[in-house]
Amino acid sequence: MNPLVAIRQFDQSLWLDFISRPILINGKLQRRIADEALRGVTSNPAIFAKSIGDSADYDSAIKALALQGKTTDEIYTNLAVSDVQAACDLFRPLYDGADNSSDGYVSLEVSPTLVNDTEGTIEEGMRLWQTVDRPNVMIKVPATLEGLPAIRRLIAEGINVNVTLIFGLERYRLVTEAFLAGLEDRLQAGLPVARIDSVASFFLSRIDVLIDPMLEKIAAEGGEKGSLAEGMVGEVALSSAKLAYQMYKEIFAGSRWEALKAQGAETQRLLWASTGNKNPKYDDLKYVENLIGPKTVNTVPVETLDIFREKGQPANRLEEGLDKAREVLRRLPELGIDLDEQTNFLEVDGAKKFNEPFGKLMQSIDIKRTQAQGQAVVPMATRLGGYQAAVDKKIEELNDKNFTEGFWEKKADLWVQDEAGQQSIRSFMGWLRVAETMVGRVSEIEQFVNEVKAAGFKHVVVMGMGGSTMAPIVFKAAFEQGENGLPMSVLDTTDPGTVREIEASVPLAETLFIVASKSGTTAEPLAFGDYFYAKLKELKGDKAGENFVAITDPGSKFVTDATAANYRRIFLNFPEVGGRFSALTYFGLVPAALYGLPIGEILERAIRMMRACGAYGSSERNPGLELGAALGVLAELGRDKLTLVVPEKLSDLGLWLEQLIAESTGKEGKGILPVAGEPLGEPGIYGQDRVFVYVGYQGEADEANTTKLKALEQAGHPTITILMDDALDLGQEFYRWEVATAVASAVFGINPFDQPNVQAAKTATDGLMKVVEEQGSLPEKSQPVASQDGVTYYSAVQGEGAAEVLKAFFAQARPGDFLCLQAYLTESSAVSESLQELRARVQAQYHIATTSGYGPRFLHSTGQYHKGGPETGLFVQFTDDNPNDLALPGRSYTFGTFKNAQALGDLEALHSYNRRTLRVHLGADAEKGLRTMLAALPTA
Ligand SMILES: O=P(O)(O)OC[C@H]1O[C@](O)(CO)[C@@H](O)[C@@H]1O
Ligand SMILES: O=C[C@H](O)[C@H](O)COP(=O)(O)O
């Protein structure tokens, strides 16, 4: 049997004398608990100095906390408390279990600077107890004379105490006295004493390190004393421990103790500390094997624990050699060694040994803190030409009414004046500070990633619509898969061809499916979940749930369903954060972490931008406000097409921005239209409705784009340039653009957090699906205006044949209009190329902006603007026969029918808003159909 497990037969508990973030995250601590009977953890200031100060493991958290204006002390406490909480949670099942034997504890020490300060210790002990907020934390208090009353008081308060730095027997007696008195105080106050656990940490190796050289010196001098000393080398610590144990048995046996025991009190167990051997001449297990005995704890460093696992010989030895132990302590004075004096020295020295590394740790945190606060945000350059004056005026106006301050105070009247609107705004502003909250969840998410990898998963598929999947899409394109990550796919379409492609490209049984839906009611993700769950059921039967994860809001029906389906994990997001503002919540960060990205750093960058935007008090310039004011004012002056220009790797940033900006601002006939993926051209092809925004990387030339942008700027078009250092700065950009979107909405006087016109398409689709369920197929509602070469055209415009219909349709274009291509097709490069060609030709011929999106994805993104924004769109919808259709388990319709219903439903919604539409049904082969249509498109 593994000696670490076998030791339990002797009623000794092994605790680990170490803590660090990596072992909490990478599953090592969990494995020691599960496989090696580890029953607790102790930390001390020197341990934290090593974990935090000597590694980069905490750097992103330190920076994030520094940016929030936390002091060095607060940063240390936050880091230590978070680790202790995480460890407490790992031990919680043991602590709550029937066989806890007073184990399952994690110790956190009060500041070593308080070693001689009774009141300070009491205050800090109570504060840490409350902050950690776990019943299985032990507050560590030194056994100095000043510490004793604090121990009594904390015990009386019902706080578990680990008494540390005990070196001598007399002091040990006083420690037990403080413990008993504390319990008695409680009883007197009529308070319960059960489950208040305490340990007395008797430090061993440090005793021998001090006394041995003295004994060796005397031994070297020879004679009678010399031989007496020789026999005592290496014996003083063990002898002290053995006699302490005898005292323990005595103290926790008499009538005084029995009275407390009768009330349910547990003894204050002796804990052997400082048990890592420091003398190469001794056996590495000296302070472990010799001290095994009932109702004791040994807290052991990692290395010693590992050696014990390899060659430990557990046996009950604590009461062996008691006579010798007594003899050693009795005769020490004969050698001129006053043990009391020496243990007093050890106590003072012990405080020093904790204070020094702790001081260094605080210094290193302080340096990192100052550095973090000095780091600038991603720069933004605006060249607005003739528009600059109007934008400056707006910024002045906003500053005059203390916009930034009001924004952080969630003053909803900055946006709208009606009470219902204001209430809705206030209830969706959780995104403002959610990055701070998520800093505290990084370990939890990283722990989960390790769990998933340990379980053998090889691939991740994130499934959801709109804001619930946009951030993962951006991460996947902008970053290479991280070293510790898994390959990731994103499914955000009901197109059967795409569902098939994803299914064929992943190892199903080893794929983790994340169903991401804030509301838990969106039809598409629920359909994806049902489809793949059925597949997994075929492979794994009742264990299918192991492959599924939900990210959703608390209380949704989906929570109940996912629980019933035994999902591996349900991440509960934040009701006060809307989908399109959720990039920095579980929705963005769980997939990012699984993909292997350093989410702590992404959050740190975001918090850097938060700070610049005034999250922690005055900020000279608010980058989010400046961008938002510019975009808002430009839109009001007719420059409402935000044309995004990015290097290849950032192409999908457009998808995220489209959703954020279009769904937030496109309402009440107003809005900013994001134009993404449009090839950049010469000034002559553009109307006067554009603002060009370039988001790229510092130091990456991207000349093709930047030269054209210069020309556009010279031609009088406003341009904005944002240059990130690296992709981690997306954290900053997510945040900047969220603020900017909210600010632009304030300029328009609209609520950025609702999407009133999305529902129109959903309702129409629901109606059509009812017909499908009743009649087996979609109703044919309108007659084609032309049908040619296998392609059919539906529109309100008239014409003889495809070319005339197309001509008549595009002839409706007015300056300031835009073309919107809506492709309910399987995404492929051939389809995308044809769509791009169509955009380019329309743009060149009609000088209008062009957008393009795959359906149904865009319904949860730009779809709001299409119906709620200004009436400037020319909508061309593409559908096909769904040649690769796929059945949906448990439903009477296929993915293809569902997708067609969504297309038709949206068309109906567009008609109800009097939008100009053309539906082009491409037949069985979408790629061919698109080429046919392009061929029919008149050239002039
Ligand atoms: O996360 P959910 O609730 O499934 O919603 C997905 C998307 O649908 C919308 O609610 C509306 O289209 C978006 O705002 C949202 O991001
Ligand atoms: O809780 C106990 C202490 O953390 C630890 O055992 C100190 O050991 P050291 O003497 O090796 O520093």
**Residue range 532-558, pLDDT digits in tens:** 999 999 999 999 999 999 999 999 899
Q: Which of 497, 498, 520 is nearest to 489 (CA)?
A: 498
Stretch 245-252: mean pLDDT, rounded? 98
206 CA closest ligand 2 atom index:
10
109 lines ligand 2 (CB under 6 A): no
**pLDDT of amino acid 620:** 78
Pair type for strands 690-697 and 269-273 = unpaired
pLDDT of residue 939 exceeding 90: no
Please pick, among 63, 70, 140, 394, the residue that the annotation labels catalytic.
140
Read off the tokens for 751.
Answer: 């609520």
**pLDDT of amino acid 619:** 74
299 lines ligand 2 (CB under 6 A): yes
Give the domains, in start order, of the chain with CATH numbers: 3-208+236-318+347-355 (3.20.20.70), 381-430+615-748 (3.40.50.10490), 434-605 (3.40.50.10490), 758-936 (3.40.50.10490)
pLDDT of residue 331 exceeding 70: yes
Which of 207, 274, 356 is the pocket-test mutation for ligand 2 (most atoms within 8 Å of CB)? 274
Helix (H, G, I), strand (E, B) or coil at 794: strand
529 lines ligand 1 (CB under 6 A): no
Length, in residues, of the chain? 940
Q: Taking the mean position of all CA atoms in its chain, how far away is CA 786?
A: 53
ipTM of the predicted assembly exceeds 0.85? yes
CB atoms < 10 A from the CB of 487, how many? 16
> Alpha-carbon distance 911 to 498, whole Å?
28
> Alpha-carbon distance 44 to 80, whole Å?
10
Supply the residue whose CA is at minimum distance from atom 11 of ligand 2: 274
274 lines ligand 2 (CB under 6 A): yes
pLDDT in tens, 108-144: 999 999 999 999 999 999 999 999 999 999 999 999 9
Distant-in-sequence, close-in-space partners of 456: CB < 8 Å, separation ≥ 6: 510
Q: Taking the mean position of all CA atoms in its chain, how far away is CA 843?
A: 42
> Alpha-carbon distance 33 to 804, whole Å?
75
Strands laid side by side in the 380-383 sheet: 380-383, 719-724, 690-697, 641-645, 673-675
Residue 557 annotated as catalytic = no
* Share of residues in the chain with pLDDT > 70 (%): 100
pLDDT band at 218 (very low <50, low <70, confident <90, very high): very high
Stretch 696-704: mean pLDDT, rounded? 92
**pLDDT of amino acid 496:** 96
553 lines ligand 1 (CB under 6 A): no
> How far does residue 464's CA lie from ligand 1's centre (Å)?
8
299 CA closest ligand 2 atom index:
6
> How far does residue 574's CA lie from ligand 1's centre (Å)?
14
- DSSP label at 887? B
C-beta of residue 896 within 8 angstroms of C-beta of residue 879: no
**pLDDT of amino acid 940:** 67
* Share of residues in the chain with pLDDT > 90 (%): 94
467 CA closest ligand 1 atom index:
16
208 lines ligand 1 (CB under 6 A): no
Which of 41, 109, 166, 203 is the pocket-test mutation for ligand 2 (most atoms within 8 Å of CB)? 203
Helix (H, G, I), strand (E, B) or coil at 258: helix
pLDDT in tens, 488-529: 999 999 999 999 999 999 999 999 999 999 999 999 999 999
Q: Which of 823, 819, 886, 818 is nearest to 854 (CA)?
A: 823
> Alpha-carbon distance 361 to 808, whole Å?
74
Type of residue at 393:
K
CB atoms < 10 A from the CB of 419, how many? 10
Pair type for strands 791-795 and 916-921 = antiparallel
Instruction: Considering every ligand atom shown, identify the ligand nearest to the alpha carbon of residue 865 and give its number.
Output: 1
Supply the residue whose CA is at minimum distance from atom 11 of ligand 1: 860
- Identify the sign of the CA torsion 853, 855, 860, 863: positive
> Alpha-carbon distance 247 to 173, whole Å?
8
> Alpha-carbon distance 40 to 91, whole Å?
7
275 CA closest ligand 2 atom index:
6
pLDDT band at 776 (very low <50, low <70, confident <90, very high): confident
Which of 424, 462, 491, 518 is the pocket-test mutation for ligand 1 (most atoms within 8 Å of CB)? 518
> Within 13 Å and on the Cβ side, how many CA atoms surround 113?
7
**pLDDT of amino acid 760:** 85
Cα–Cα distances in angstroms (integers) from residue 369 to residues 69, 375, 734, in the given order: 9, 10, 23
Stretch 415-436: mean pLDDT, rounded? 97
Helix (H, G, I), strand (E, B) or coil at 149: helix
pLDDT band at 728 (very low <50, low <70, confident <90, very high): very high
> Alpha-carbon distance 181 to 177, whole Å?
6
pLDDT of residue 320 exceeding 70: yes
Q: Which of 23, 51, 55, 49 is nearest to 38 (CA)?
A: 23
> Alpha-carbon distance 403 to 413, whole Å?
11
**pLDDT of amino acid 903:** 96
CB atoms < 10 A from the CB of 869, how many? 24
Helix axes 339-374, 59-67, angle to 10 degrees: 70
Supply the residue whose CA is at minimum distance from atom 4 of ligand 2: 44
pLDDT in tens, 66-123: 999 999 999 999 999 999 999 999 999 999 999 889 999 999 999 999 999 999 999 9
pLDDT of residue 618 exceeding 80: no
Helix (H, G, I), strand (E, B) or coil at 768: helix
516 CA closest ligand 1 atom index:
1
